Structure 1
C-alpha cells in the first residue's frame, strides 16, 4: 500500500477520486447494506407472487371435484352448485393468500390481479420521486427513509381488514420500494471500486434473495405473517445505513468539499489503510473544478432529445418496447406461479437458481468470445422465450395443458430465467448507443417502460377469461415483434466507443429555421461515471 501511495505522489494529475475508493472493510459495509436493501426490494416486488396466489378449488360443501378437473371447469361446477345449494367453497391453498382469506376465487381472482397492478404503480411514482430527492438531499438518508417507511407500511398492511385497504397500504409500500431500487443502485455505484462492481453485483443480486423469500414464505404460510417477517429481517439494513457515510461523489457534486474529505478519511480509517492528505486535497480541488466547469458548459437536455434524429427515435422506441416486453413476460409468470404444476416454493427456487447460474455463465463468456455481442444475446434469448411461449400455446390449443403440466412449468421457469439476460443487454445497449449528454435520460426512459410492463403484467393471464390460449398468443406476438424490431434497428455496440457528441443539426428529425451547431459535451467526469453505469444495469 505504501508503494502504491508513493507511485500516486509522483504524478498528482493522474490521481482520481477512484484511486481512494478501494475494496476493503468499508466496501463490505456497502455490500451488506445493499444485500438487505435488495432483500427488502425482492420481498416487496414478488410479495404478491405468494400473497396473491389463487387457492385450488377442490369442491363445494360435501361435493368433491375430480382431481384432474381444470380450474375453469371447477369454477363452472362451483357456480352451479352454489346457485343450487348455497354451498361454501372448499379451498386447498399452497399459501394462505389474500385470495384464500377473503375468498377471491374464480372470477374474483381478477380483482386481485387488478390490485397488483395498482400496487405496482407505486413503484413508478417512487422511482421518479426519490430519484429527485436523492439528488437534492443525498443518498444516505433518502435510502434510509425508503427502507424505514416501506417497513412501516408493510406492517400496517398486515392488519388490513379487506382488499381495498390492503391495496392502499401496499401502494405506499411500493412507492418507497421504487425509491429504494433507484437509490440503492446509485449508492452502490458511487461507493464501490469500478473494477469490482461487476462481480460484486453478480453476487449481491436479486436471484439469491428470491430463494430466501421462497424459504420465508414456506415457513410463514400466511400473507399477514410473511409481510411482518419480511419487514423484520430487513431491519439490519437500517443499522448498516447508519454506519455508512454520505457518498463522496454526491458531496463533491454539491460543493461540500470538506465533508467529502472527511468521508474519504473515514473510509480509509475503517479500511485501515494510509492516505496522503495533501494528495487528497489536490484530487478534491481537481474534482471541484471539473464539476464547476461541467455546470458552466452544460446544456439542458430533455426527453425530446431522445427523438433528435431518426436513429435516436428508433433506438428509443426499440429499447423501450423491449424493456416493456421483458417486464411483461417476467412478471406475468411470477405473479401467476400458482398456475404452474408443482410447488410455488420449488418453482421460485428453480427460477432463481437457473437465473443466477445463467448470469454467472454469461458474464465470462461475453468477455471471452468476440462474436457473442449484444444483438446475439438479445436475439438468442428472445428466440428461446418465443419458442417456450409457442410451446405453451400449442399445448393449450390441443387441450394438453392438464395432461402435460410439466412442459408448461419448464417453459415458464425458462422464460423468467432468460429474461434476466434481456434486462442486462437492454440496459447495456441503451448506455452504449446514446451520447453522454442524453445517456441518463435514455436509461430513465427505458426504465419507465419497464415499470409500465410491471403494471400490465398481472393482467396478461386475465385474457384467458375470454379464450384460454389468448395469454400465450399475446406473449408470442409481443416477443416476436420485439425480436424483429430490435434486430432491424439496433446496431451491434459491443467493442464500439461510447459517443460523447450529440449529432449535428443537419441530422435532426425535425429541422427548425434556427438550428444551432452540434454540441460537444465536455463533462469528462459525467462521461466516465455514466460509462461505469453500464456495468451496474440490472
Structure 2
C-alpha cells in the first residue's frame, strides 16, 4: 500500500505541471477558474454534510424513478388549471327577456317574435326592455292586438333567452335583472377556498405526510370537480367551487413538497418549472374546450373524466423519505429508498442506510413566530407572494375593462407563460434563486410603470403590456415557489408553502374587492408601489442554490449565517495572488475536479501498482 501511495503521489506531481501549462497556454483566466472551483468545492462539501443527499446520489440523482415521479405531476397540474379558471367560461353573457307565456293561453299560435312584440315594452330606441313585461289582462287576442297593453311590472314568471347560443350559469339559474352581482361571487368564493385550503392542507401535509395529502386533494378534484356538473342550484355550485379550490391548492403544496424532497439541485427546480408549465397548458386546453362546448355542464364533465385514472396514484405514488425520517419512521424510509434504487437499478450501501437519524423532530406552526430567522423569511416571502397575486389580478381586471375577448385573454398569456417559465431555468442556473426572483420582480415593476405612463387610446399596446406583465408575474411565482420550498425545513415545508399561498389568496381577494371599484390609474399605481416593495425585500432572502435542504429548525436558522460566510469567501477570493490561484487549480486537478483526464499509460501504471500490492 505504501508503494501504491508513493506512486500516485509521483503521478500527481508529474501531471500537475502539464495541466497547469494547458491553462497557461490557453490563457485561462485564474479568477474565473478559481470562482468555479471554489463553487464546486462548496457543493461537494455541502453534499458531504447532508447525509440524505448522499443517499439520493446512491439511489440515482435523476433516474427512472425520479423521472416517473415528475411525470406523475403533469396530469393533476393540467386539471388544477382547468378547475381553477372554469368560472370565467360558465358565465357567458346572455340577453334576457321576461317570460310572457301567459299570452299563449289566448293566442296559442303566436310566434316568439309576435309574443314578445305584444307583451314586452320597448325602450325609446325601439329595442325590447329586458327586465319589464306587460301584465296579463282578461281580454281576447284581437282586443290585445287592437288596443295593446299598458300596465308594466318586473318579470314574474322567469326569463327567456332567445339569442343564447350556449347554456351558461346565467340562463341556468337566471342571474339577471338585479342578480348580476352574483356573477362575481364564485370567483371570490373560490379564492376564499384557496385561502382556507392553504392553511388546512399545509398542516395536513406536514402532519400526515405528502402521500396522503396528494391523494386527498386528488379525491377532492374527482368528487367536487366532476360533481359540479350535476349541481341543481347556484348555492350548491358555490359550495362545490369552494371545495374544489381547496383541492387545487392542496395538490400544489403537497406535490411541490414531494418533488423538492425527492430531487436534488437543478432537477428540483426543473420539476417545479415543468409542473407550472403544464398548469399553463391546462389553461390553454380549458379555453379551447370551453369555446367548442355548448353547455357549461359538459365543461365540467370533460374536465372531470381525466381525474378518475388518478386513483391509480394510490399504488404508484411514493412517500417522501425525508418526511418519514423526520417523523422517526426509519424503516419506512429505508423501504422507499430501496424501492427507488431498485427502479433505478442501483444498490444503496448498507452503511449509508444505517446513518439515517432515528430521532423524531417536532415542530408546529407557532415556530414561525418563535424562530427569528424563519419568521423573517416568512414575512419576506409572504410580502412577495401578496405582491405577485395582487398585481396579477389587477392586470387581469384591467384587461377585462378593455373589452378584450375572453378567449384571447386566456390563450395568449397561457401560451407565453410556458417559454417564460422555461427561461427561469437558465436564470436559476446562472444567477441563483435570490437574484432570479429579483430579476423577475424587476420585470413586473417595469411593465407596471410602462402601463402607468401609456397615453389613452393605445388599446393594442396596453393589451400587449398587460400580457407581458401577467407573464412576468407568472414566472416570478414559479421562482418564488422554488425558493420557498428550498428555504423551509422539512418539518414545516408544507405549512410554510401554505402560509405563502395564503398571502397570495389574500392579495387576490383584496384586488378583486377594491380594484373593481375604480377604473382609474390609481390601482396601477398601487401595483407599482407593491411591486417595488416586493423587489426591495426580496434581497433579504438567503441564497439556496447548491445548498443542502434543511430538515430541522436548527439547520434552517443557521442558513442565513452560512450563506453570508460563503458570500464573504467568494468576495475575498478575488484578492488572492496569482500563485494562490495556480495552487488552487493544481489541488483541483489532484481532487479530480477538473475535467482533464489522466493518460492511459498512467492508468496502466496505477493498475499494475494495485495488482502488485494485492499479490501474496
- How far apart are residue 167 of structure 1 and its match? 0.4
- Length, aligned pairs only: 464
- The one-character-per-residue Cα deviations of 1:403-431 (angstroms, maximum 9, x if unpaired) are x6544533432332121133245556767
- How far apart are residue 450 of structure 1 and its match? 0.5
- How far apart are residue 232 of structure 1 and its match? 1.0
The answer to whether the 8 Å contact 2:444/2:472 transfers is: yes
- The one-character-per-residue Cα deviations of 1:209-254 (angstroms, maximum 9, x if unpaired) are 2222223323334321111221111233322442123222222222
The answer to whether the 8 Å contact 1:305/1:438 transfers is: no
Aligned to 2:357: 288
| Residues 1:523 and 2:555 are matched in the alignment | yes
TM-aligned CA distance change 1:152 to 1:101, over 3 Å: same
Aligned to 2:539: 491
The answer to whether the 8 Å contact 1:126/1:176 transfers is: yes
Identify the match of residue 360 of structure 1 among 422, 433, 441: 422
Q: Where do 1:467-506 residues align within 5 Å?
A: 470-487=518-535, 489=537, 491=539
Q: Where do 1:375-524 residues align within 5 Å?
A: 375-388=438-451, 391=454, 395=456, 400=457, 405-424=459-478, 426-427=480-481, 444-460=498-514, 462-463=516-517, 470-487=518-535, 489=537, 491=539, 522-523=554-555
Unaligned runs of 5+ in 2: 1-47, 99-111, 115-124, 135-151, 564-616
| Residues 1:30 and 2:69 are matched in the alignment | yes
Q: For the residues of structure 1 that align with 2:268 and 2:521, how far apart are their CA atoms?
A: 39
Identify the match of residue 104 of structure 1 among 151, 175, 185: 175
- How far apart are residue 337 of structure 1 and its match? 7.0
- How far apart are residue 262 of structure 1 and its match? 1.9
CA RMSD of aligned residues (A): 4.5
Aligned to 1:66: none
The answer to whether the 8 Å contact 2:206/2:493 transfers is: no
The answer to whether the 8 Å contact 1:359/1:421 transfers is: yes
TM-aligned CA distance change 1:360 to 1:224, over 3 Å: same
- How far apart are residue 35 of structure 1 and its match? 0.8
Aligned to 2:191: 120
| Residues 1:222 and 2:260 are matched in the alignment | no
Give SS of 2:72's match. Answer: helix
| Residues 1:251 and 2:314 are matched in the alignment | no
Q: For the residues of structure 2 that align with 1:450 and 1:493, how far apart are their CA atoms?
A: 18
Aligned to 1:534: none
- The one-character-per-residue Cα deviations of 1:131-187 (angstroms, maximum 9, x if unpaired) are 222223222233112111331122332222222111012112222222222111112
TM-aligned CA distance change 1:383 to 1:138, over 3 Å: same
Identify the match of residue 83 of structure 2 among 33, 40, 44: 44
Unaligned runs of 5+ in 1: 1-10, 64-73, 464-469, 501-519, 532-538
**Greater gyration radius:** 2
Give SS of 2:464's match. Answer: helix
The answer to whether the 8 Å contact 1:433/1:498 transfers is: no
The answer to whether the 8 Å contact 1:435/1:499 transfers is: no
The answer to whether the 8 Å contact 1:358/1:417 transfers is: yes
| Residues 1:129 and 2:177 are matched in the alignment | no
Q: Where do 1:333-344 residues align within 5 Å?
A: 341=403, 343-344=405-406
Give SS of 2:230's match. Answer: coil
The answer to whether the 8 Å contact 1:33/1:241 transfers is: no
Which deviates the most, 89-98 or 491-500? 491-500
Aligned to 2:101: none
Give SS of 1:55's match. Answer: coil
TM-aligned CA distance change 1:357 to 1:102, over 3 Å: same
- How far apart are residue 128 of structure 1 and its match? 1.8
Q: For the residues of structure 2 that align with 1:185 and 1:451, how far apart are their CA atoms?
A: 18
Identify the match of residue 212 of structure 1 among 275, 285, 291: 285
- How far apart are residue 275 of structure 1 and its match? 0.3
Q: Where do 1:13-28 residues align within 5 Å?
A: 16-19=54-57, 20-28=59-67
Structure 2 length as normaliser, TM-score?
Answer: 0.63
Q: For the residues of structure 2 that align with 1:525 and 1:485, how far apart are their CA atoms?
A: 24
Aligned to 1:233: 306
Q: For the residues of structure 1 that align with 2:169 and 2:290, how far apart are their CA atoms?
A: 14
Give SS of 2:521's match. Answer: helix
